[in-house]
Structure 1
Amino acid sequence: MRHSILFLSALAAASAASAQSSVTLYGVVDASVSSYHATGAPSRTQVLAGGNQSSRLGFRGREDLGDGAYASFELEAGLFNDTGTTLATNTNNQPSGASAGGFSFARKSFVALGSKRLGELRLGRDYTPGFWNLFAYDAFRTGVGLGGITTQGSTSTVFRASNSMGYFTPGCSAFVCPGFFGQVAYALGENAPGAANSKDGRYVGGRLGYGGGKWDVAVSHGVTKNAAADGYTQTSVGGSYNFDVAKVMLLWGQHKTGLPVAALGGGNKAPFWQVSAWVPVGAGYIPVAFTRMTRNDALGSSASKFAVGYVHNLSKRTAVYTTYARIKNNGSLQLPVNSGADAGPIPIRGGTSSGIDIGIRHAF
């Protein structure tokens, strides 16, 4: 009897504790059949992951600490469900820290303390303020599928930063928040002290904005230390307005290095702008976008990209979709229509590239 009473007491205590905290398993599985064409290159047809939303698997937990305070964590892995592999991570925000090893929580892995009055502090690997501006004001959500925005110049911190310390103002934890909002982040490259590149991988960035119901606007700026390129700067300004018949988004940005970079044709600036929209149609919507990017290399290179699609919701969790995109390069540019590992065939310099996909997305 005594052991039974102790067991029931322990169970009651555990139940009381669990009532104040929670852990959630979530994710997205997205796959498409994609066909690519490019000037001067063989056509290619592939089964790809993440044509509409990036596939992922995550765990999210939160514990209420009382008086509006809480502790939380998030662990999120990127998935390539076409092959069963996972997204690579980076340990020091530099090329030397790139890793394509086994399973990793490369998308997000942080622990946080927050309150309704003071905001939220995060420690770990997280999205940078600059990424959220690109994500918020691109109808195809930056870096996802054929429609993703076209940019030039890259560093490990364009999307995420490891070894970071981040802060969100009260009531805000992602990309669009009500009223005035802000985010700041500081990340360490963690190189050996005293070396010429000891500060490489160090990131400092911030984002300020206002969400006003039908409209919102935000500006972001971030700098990543890099001795070889004399630093990498990412700046953007964006806004959106919901006209009911369509939500229209505008975005301007610039990626810049302090010194010319051979991989960028000897240029160091790549400004871009985009006009995009979501148009509701029945049980789905039409995303459409036009992007123009230039580069200050010797040939004054540029690229223009048009993308249009349709997403049809079969339920709250499941959707089918299709996207068509075409990019026209000029000068020394030869950008493919997609990006990353699934970029598709590379066109000749000044050539065109196009693609179409049909896919299924399921969220849980």
Structure 2
Amino acid sequence: MKVLKATILMGSVMASTALHAQSNVQIYGIVDVGVEYVNKAQVSSTGTATGSLAKVTSGNAAASRFGFRGREDLGDGLSAVFVLENGFSANNGTLANNGRLFGRQSYVGLAGKFGELDVGRETTPIFDFGALYDPMIPARFSALTLDAAFASRADNAVRYAGKFGGLTLSTLYSFGFDSTIVNGGQIPGAFQVGKETSVNVNYQLGNVLAGALYDRQNGTSIATEQNTDERMALGISADFNPVKLYAAYQRRNTRTAPITATTNLFWVGVSYNPIPAVTLDATAYSYDPAGPSNRTGMYSVLGSYALSKRTDIYTVLSVMRNQAKAVMALDGTVNPGDGQTGLQFGIRHRF
């Protein structure tokens, strides 16, 4: 009997150890904080006076965050996966993403030879597209300044991602992309309200990567469910190590029945790594909404120097040029037609 008990106990310990060995959880994150200066920031919402603004800011080169990611081996090449990712402002310790605890990502799913299928709050294929084809992203003075959707997440989402040779695919369907509205857009009998459909397809051929994006969001109430916000984009990059070139075009159609407004966004960029510790990124953008004198040009440069594998210091310079009616700003608010220059210095640590 003693031998039997000892055998059972040893078996239990071995089983527990085996299960532990098949699972892992990782804590990770980025802390990014620096000093920012911009000129011609509007002093008053009704006045024309402008002034310079200097402040400490978080997430200049990459948004500050911490998270937990885990994977459990289920056998036969199948794994359970999860991610819980929090965004915060390192300059004051407050939560980002409208105060959500895990506002950047919170999902669980299954991964295997078929790819990965996840359910929860997740980054969109628009996010994927921007990260692949704009060398300035995830810096703030990037395509993010001109279209915040390049950092978008969707609530109540089902997402699939897979790789098949040189082809990669990410696709998402959300039952209600914004839970800050009533019912998160999930209203009984209103099957179009708050829905988002998105897909990004990319193909790698040698040193060239090319991709296409389609994304569509419906209005977030029964009264606006026929309204749509639609994005279509094409991108290409070519890697000539240590130089990498980028170009992308996005067409956005915003329909508020019966009117559809179109915005065109185009950029070209370059990334250069002269030595392993130094990275130089630069992108020129053309932002062209419908209507006369609304065009904006933006030109951004980022330089970083790695102090270690985890820590780097950086500087970002960006210049915004608005036509007479345009009011795009790097930070704050500008008067119509005013340009703006922004400069950032900071330190970023990854863990």
Q: Could you tell me which amino acid in structure 1 is paired with residue 125 of structure 2?
A: P
CA contact (8 A) 1:147 1:323 kept: no
Q: Could you tell me which amino acid in structure 2 is paired with residue 287 of structure 1?
A: D
2-side partners of 1:254 and 1:161: how far apart?
A: 20
Tell me by how many angstroms 1:13 deviates.
2.4
- TM-score relative to the length of structure 1: 0.84
Match of 1:174 in 2: none
CA contact (8 A) 1:150 1:291 kept: no
2-side partners of 1:203 and 1:167: how far apart?
A: 14
Of 31, 34, 46, the residue aligned with 1:32 is 34
* Percent identity of equivalent pairs: 27
Equivalent position SS for 2:273: strand
2-side partners of 1:288 and 1:267: how far apart?
A: 33
2-side partners of 1:319 and 1:208: how far apart?
A: 32
Equivalent position SS for 1:183: strand
Of 61, 73, 85, the residue aligned with 1:64 is 73
Q: Could you tell me which amino acid in structure 1 is paired with residue 75 of structure 2?
A: G
Identify which of structures 1 and 2 has the higher relative contact order when contacts are C-alpha pairs closer than 8 Å and 6+ apart: 1
1:231 matched to 2:228: yes
CA contact (8 A) 2:130 2:143 kept: no
1-side partners of 2:211 and 2:22: how far apart?
A: 35
Call closer, same or farther: CA 1:183–1:148 in 2, change over 3 Å. Answer: closer
Equivalent position SS for 1:169: strand
Question: What 5-or-longer segments of structure 2 have no aligned partner?
Answer: 42-48, 177-184
CA contact (8 A) 1:303 1:333 kept: yes
Of 7, 16, 30, the residue aligned with 2:18 is 16
Tell me by how many angstroms 1:245 deviates.
3.6
1:247 matched to 2:244: yes
1-side partners of 2:95 and 2:251: how far apart?
A: 30
Deviation >6 Å, runs of 4+: 1-7
Question: What 5-or-longer segments of structure 1 have no aligned partner?
Answer: 89-99, 172-177, 338-343
CA contact (8 A) 1:78 1:87 kept: yes
2-side partners of 1:132 and 1:19: how far apart?
A: 32
Equivalent position SS for 1:289: strand
Tell me by how many angstroms 1:228 deviates.
6.7
Call closer, same or farther: CA 1:244–1:258 in 2, change over 3 Å. Answer: same
Match of 1:139 in 2: 135
1:353 matched to 2:340: yes
- The range that moved more, 43-52 or 206-215, is 206-215
Query: Number of paired residues?
Result: 329
CA contact (8 A) 2:87 2:103 kept: yes
Aligned pairs for 1:312-323 within 5 A: 312-323=305-316
CA contact (8 A) 1:219 1:238 kept: yes
Equivalent position SS for 1:334: coil
Q: Could you tell me which amino acid in structure 2 is paired with residue 123 of structure 1?
A: V
CA contact (8 A) 1:151 1:270 kept: no
Report Cα offsets for 1:66-115 as digits up to 9, x if no partner.
Answer: 22111111111112111101222xxxxxxxxxxx33x5111111111121
Tell me by how many angstroms 1:259 deviates.
2.7
CA contact (8 A) 1:260 1:267 kept: yes
2-side partners of 1:158 and 1:24: how far apart?
A: 23
Of 199, 203, 207, the residue aligned with 1:210 is 203
Tell me by how many angstroms 1:276 deviates.
0.7
1:115 matched to 2:124: no
- The range that moved more, 73-82 or 228-237, is 228-237
Tell me by how many angstroms 1:160 deviates.
1.1
Report Cα offsets for 1:170-211 as digits up to 9, x if no partner.
Answer: 46xxxxxx611212111012432246xx62210011111112
Equivalent position SS for 2:305: strand
Q: Could you tell me which amino acid in structure 2 is paired with residue 23 of structure 1?
A: V
Match of 2:182 in 1: none
Structure showing greater radius of gyration is: 2
Tell me by how many angstroms 1:35 deviates.
0.6
Equivalent position SS for 1:12: helix
